[in-house]
Amino acid sequence: MQLAQQVKHLIKKEIILEWRSKYALNGVLLYVVSTVFVCYMSFQIIDKLTWNALFWIIMLFASINAIAKSFLQESKGRQLYIYTLVSPAALIIAKTLYNSLLMIVLTVIALIFYSLVFDFPKGADILMYFVAAVLGSLSFSTIFTMVSAIASKTGNGGMLMAILSFPIIIPVLIVLIKFAKNAMDGLDRSVSLDEIGLLAVINVIVMTVALLLFPYLWRD
Partner 1 sequence: MQKTWWKILAAVLVIYTAVAGLLWDVPRLAILNETIRNLYFHVPMWFAMVVLFTISVWYSVKSLSTQSEADDIRAVESANAGIIFGVLGIITGAVWAKFTWGQFWSFDPKQNFAAISLLLYFAYFVLRNAIDEEQKRAKIAAIYNIFAFPMMVVLLFVLPRLQDSLHPGNGGNPGFNSYDLDSRMRMVFYPACLGWILVGYWVYTLRFRTKILENKQL
Smallest gap from residue 125 Cβ to partner 1 (A): 20
Single out the residue of 39, 28, 27, 30 nearest to residue 117, CA to CA: 39
Between residues 1 and 220, which has the closer beta carbon with respect to partner 1? 220
Amino acid letter, residue 103: M
Amino acid letter, residue 166: F
Report whether 10 contacts 90 (CB < 8 A). yes
Residues that bind partner 1 (CB under 8 A): 146-147, 150, 153-156, 160, 163-164, 166-168, 170-171, 174-175, 178, 194, 198, 202, 205-206, 209-210, 213, 216-217, 220
Smallest gap from residue 209 Cβ to partner 1 (A): 6
Between residues 35 and 139, which has the closer beta carbon with respect to partner 1? 139
Q: What sign does the dihedral 209-210-211-217 (CA atoms) show?
A: positive
Smallest gap from residue 93 Cβ to partner 1 (A): 16
Between residues 39 and 210, which has the closer beta carbon with respect to partner 1? 210
Distance CA 137, CA 114 (A): 16
Between residues 124 and 173, which has the closer beta carbon with respect to partner 1? 173
Residue 35 has a CB neighbour count (10 Å cut-off) of: 18
**Rg of the chain in Å (alpha carbons):** 18
Smallest gap from residue 155 Cβ to partner 1 (A): 6
